[in-house]
Amino acid sequence: MLKKDLKSLLDLGTPAEQKQWSNIEDFIDTFVAGIDGSRPFQVQLLAGMTPSGYLTALPLDGGFQTFRDNVEGLGYELKRDAKDTSLYQFNMIIDSEQESTPGAEAVEDVGWMRVLSDVEYLVLAMSSSRSSLPRLKELTLAAKPGDFAAGTAAVMQLTNPDATEAGQKHRRTIFAGNRKATMDALQKRPDETATRFEMRKLSSNLMLDEVERAAAESQDLKISMQMDHTTAAAPSLNVAGDLVAIPGTALATALQQFNSRPDAFAGIA
């Protein structure tokens, strides 16, 4: 499922991007020895951390040892926790030249991994800064088998630890660059009238308004994706979201209005 799902997503891209599949497939085959590609996996982007990190849930194939042998062969160092034998801290320096440069901090892959033998899964949280290790450990220990064993293929999570107005303003400023890049990329189609093009730009701008509000005023935003291969000739992608707003924001007020009055179409068959 791992390679099949990734290829399905890549097939939605341009022909040039699709040609990269052979390189991606070789990388997966090298890195994921010990991973069961037939079962669901998860990847969460921890965008609220600085630097950002990842939380993954990987299905093991035949236990942990094969995966461990592979990552150690790739240069990672694993150290088992003294109190919890299912927990490992890991690191690998990926820019050794910086380590020898005075005043420069070496770039590393660091994090924690936890083996869940009862469900044959590995939870792995990683970042590129040792200052993130305490938080990564918390996330690794907090992960529950039910969070990923239900079949969700991938998860993107945004956590905003700064709920102040200044923090919200900062996130809006950052989003402004993304908005500009998105709007600048919109081009008039050959068969599109000027009026329809303006309407499409207006619609895109309104949608970006809502995305900006969610990015700036949310405490936690999680988007889950699952590939459905029930119909082999026509696989589908299901997307679901969970959103927790910062209290007192316009987003929180908007969410409170949901289910506050009867639906005008309730009871219509």
Residues 156, 162, 164, 165: what is their CA dihedral angle, to the nearest 10 degrees? -50
CB-based contact 44:156 (threshold 8 Å)? yes
Contact 54, 123 (CB under 8 A): no
Is the pLDDT score of 8 beyond 90? no
**Contact between 74 and 31 (Cβ < 8 Å):** yes
Domain parsing of the chain, residue ranges: 32-155, 165-254
Burial degree of 12 (CB within 10 A; 0-12, 13-18, 19+) = exposed
Q: Rounded to whole angstroms, how far apart are CA atoms 141 and 116?
A: 10
Model's pTM, two decimal places?
Answer: 0.57
Dist CA 39 CA 58 (whole Å):
9
Diameter of the chain measured on Cα atoms: 72
Structure tokens given for 171: 């996130």
Q: Tell me what pLDDT residue 197 has.
A: 92
Separation between Cα atoms, residue 132 and residue 33, nearest integer Å: 27
> Looking at residue 244, what is its pLDDT?
92
d(CA 44, CA 56): 6
Q: Check pLDDT > 80 for residue 75.
A: yes
Q: Which carries the bigger pLDDT value, residue 222 or residue 13? A: 222
Of the chain, the percentage scoring pLDDT greater than 90 comes to 30
What is the pLDDT averaged over residues 215-243? 79
Q: Does residue 101 carry a pLDDT above 60? A: no
23 has pLDDT over 70: no
Give the pLDDT score at 106: 53
Which are the contacts of 164, defined by CB distance < 8 A and separation ≥ 6?
none
Q: What is the mean pLDDT of residues 113-139?
A: 91
Residue 266's alpha-carbon distances to 6, 123, 251, 262, 263, in angstroms, are 39, 43, 25, 7, 5
- Determine the Cα–Cα distance for residues 157 and 264; give it in Å rounded to an integer: 33
Least confident of 71-80, 187-196, 198-207, 258-267: 258-267
Please report the pLDDT score of residue 3 as a whole number. Answer: 63
Indicate the helix (H) or strand (E) that contains 186.
Answer: none
Task: Cite the beta strand spans of the chain per DSSP E.
Answer: 42-46, 53-59, 77-80, 87-93, 108-116, 121-127, 154-159, 218-228, 236-245
Q: How far is it, in rounded angstroms, from Cα 93 to Cα 97?
A: 10
Rounded to the nearest 5°, which phi and psi values hold at 257?
Answer: -80, -15
The three-point CA angle 40-42-45 to 5° equals 165
